[in-house]
């Protein structure tokens, strides 16, 4: 969330996995880095967006979106998505847990 004024109510991840609600607040780790762990099923397809505050939907550029949302197919192994810029096209770095 660098270069962003974070809303007082925090940062959220909303998507098809939670009915597009604010039920998944992200945890501030420090240095504008936020974290969230979710149990999602292997092979599941999800669309999602980051939210800066309860009503602060990000605008996802068309070059990395489906229906205006970010998207992912959950792989068979646990993964860590890193380095997203709110409203920007930056590929996630996927790390496989050993």
- In-domain check, residue 3: no
- In-domain check, residue 2: no
The per-residue pLDDT for 87 is: 57
Query: What is the number of domains present in the chain?
Result: 1
Cα(88)–Cα(71) distance, integer angstroms:
14
CA distances in angstroms from 83 to 3, 35, 42, 72, 86, listed in the order given: 14, 11, 22, 15, 10
Which structural domain, as residue segments, surrounds residue 24? 11-96
- In-domain check, residue 82: yes
Task: Return the bridge partners of 96, or none.
Answer: 79
Q: Are 11 and 26 in contact (CB under 8 A)?
A: yes
pLDDT beyond 80 at 84: no
How does pLDDT run across 25-47, given as a tens digit for each residue?
A: 998 888 888 888 888 888 899 99
């Amino acid at each position: 969330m660098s270069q962003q004024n974070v809303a007082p109510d925090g940062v959220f991840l909303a998507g098809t996995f939670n009915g597009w609600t604010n039920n998944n607040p992200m945890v501030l780790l420090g240095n504008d880095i936020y974290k969230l762990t979710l149990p999602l099923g292997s092979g599941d397809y999800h669309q999602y967006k980051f939210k800066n505050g309860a009503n602060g939907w990000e605008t996802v550029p068309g070059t990395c979106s489906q229906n205006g949302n970010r998207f992912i197919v959950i792989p068979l192994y646990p993964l860590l998505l890193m380095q997203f810029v709110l409203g920007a096209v930056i590929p996630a770095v996927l790390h496989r847990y050993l």
